[in-house]
Amino acid sequence: MSKAYNKHLRPRRLRKNKSTRELVQETHLTCNDLVWPVFMLEGDNQKQEVKSMPGIFKFSLDLLLPQVEEAHKKGIKGLALFPVVPDDKKDKTATESKNPDGLMPKAIRKLKKEFPDVILFTDVAMDPYSSDGQDGFVEDGKILNDKTLPILAEMALVQAEAGSDFISPSDMMDHRIGFIREALDSKNYSEVGIMSYAAKYASHFYGPFRDALDSAPKGHKKTYQMNPANRNSALTEVQLDIEEGADIVMVKPALPYLDIIRDIRNNTNTPIAAYNVSGEYSMLSLLGHNNLCDAHGVILESLTAIKRAGADLIFTYFAKDFADKL
Ligand code: PBG
């Protein structure tokens, strides 16, 4: 009888019991991998559930602080900040984003004072402050790239002044990383980092986030966010952002884009962040809530898969509640 295969090889030996499985496990998820995104409200004593994200709340700063303290005690080291801006403060040029006493800079100052070793990733984009709901400046229905850059740079400077650790441009305008880096350096903020939303796709999975911020765009974002069908252009975006000075590059969303995370991992040495976005959160939460799957199991498996794909940091709404389960 011919020997058609090697009968000595039995991969199941490495899976025969828990200890063996643990000894050969390749990917280990820890709190050090997680960044917790939070939605912030103006005022005091405000707490609102995000309807499309079961279990996620928007908090005014006084109520956010104890939440952050709890997350920090569990080992969470990173926060991503997103302000909810009332309609009457929105306009064409995102004026409120440059207000040094606005919600974002106020939050940065408070959080850095209370929790100096919690690292703050502060969103830079016009959409929460824009009456057009777009990340860039709109004229005659067009998103004007180069008119947006100075607005983003001013926003970044206000955040840097307040104490941001990583300016996090999520707008996908061309050249904004270089423009912001120069602005920061010219004002002596060379130690403030830039975490670039480098490969950010025009995704339907952002739906619940836009609901949370009441920031749904007029029209779409396809002239600046990437086409979900494209893989090669993600490497172009990442390469440009690294050349322009990004310290960390992000892929967003995460779960439907694991191939992109891996491509980037294989092509650069820069740390990669992946954003497990609002729609992914709701999808996984609803599986658990409706008893369709083991809630803890699907979350752990999904976050582990994002890390296995090559992400160093994972932005996830599960961070706080999941931290002590790791
Ligand atoms: C916009 C921004 C979005 C998210 C973060 N920053 C949405 C968008 O591009 O419309 C989405 C995050 C999420 O869905 O959790 N600058």
Question: pLDDT tens digits, residue range 66-98?
Answer: 999 999 999 999 999 999 999 999 999 999 999
Residue 252 annotated among the catalytic residues of the structure: yes
Residue from 225, 216, 208, 223 nearest 133 by CA: 216
* Cβ of residue 206 lying under 6 Å from some atom of ligand 1: yes
Q: What is the DSSP string of 7-71?
A: TT--GGGGGSSHHHHHHT------GGGEEEEEEEESSSS-EEE-TTSTT-EEEEHHHHHHHHHHH
Which stretch of DSSP H or E encloses residue 260?
helix 258-267
pLDDT number for residue 168: 98
* Cβ of residue 263 lying under 6 Å from some atom of ligand 1: no
Q: Which of 277, 285, 306, 317 for a ligand 1 pocket mutation test, highest count of atoms within 8 Å of Cβ? A: 277
What confidence category does residue 1 fall into, taking pLDDT thresholds of 50, 70 and 90? low
pLDDT number for residue 194: 98
16 CA to centre of ligand 1 in angstroms: 43
pLDDT number for residue 185: 98
Residue 3 reports pLDDT greater than 80: no
201 CA to centre of ligand 1 in angstroms: 10
Q: What is the pLDDT of residues 209-252, one digit of tens each?
A: 998 888 889 899 999 999 999 999 999 999 999 999 999 999 99
Over range 296-324, report the average pLDDT. Answer: 97
149 CA to centre of ligand 1 in angstroms: 18
9 CA to centre of ligand 1 in angstroms: 47
* Cβ of residue 210 lying under 6 Å from some atom of ligand 1: yes
Over range 100-109, report the average pLDDT. Answer: 98
Can you list the domains of the chain with their CATH numbers? 29-221+232-325 (3.20.20.70)
Two structure tokens written together for 112: 């850095």
pLDDT number for residue 186: 98
pLDDT number for residue 4: 87
Over range 130-141, report the average pLDDT. Answer: 96
Distance CA 294, CA 287 (A): 8
Residue 200 annotated among the catalytic residues of the structure: yes
Question: What are the strands, taking DSSP E only, across 178-293?
Answer: 193-200, 248-252, 272-276
Residue from 219, 168, 163 nearest 198 by CA: 168
pLDDT number for residue 218: 87
Residue 274 reports pLDDT greater than 80: yes
pLDDT number for residue 215: 85
* Cβ of residue 254 lying under 6 Å from some atom of ligand 1: no
List 77, 200, 221, 320, catalytic entry: 200
Nearest ligand 1 atom to the CA of 206 is 14
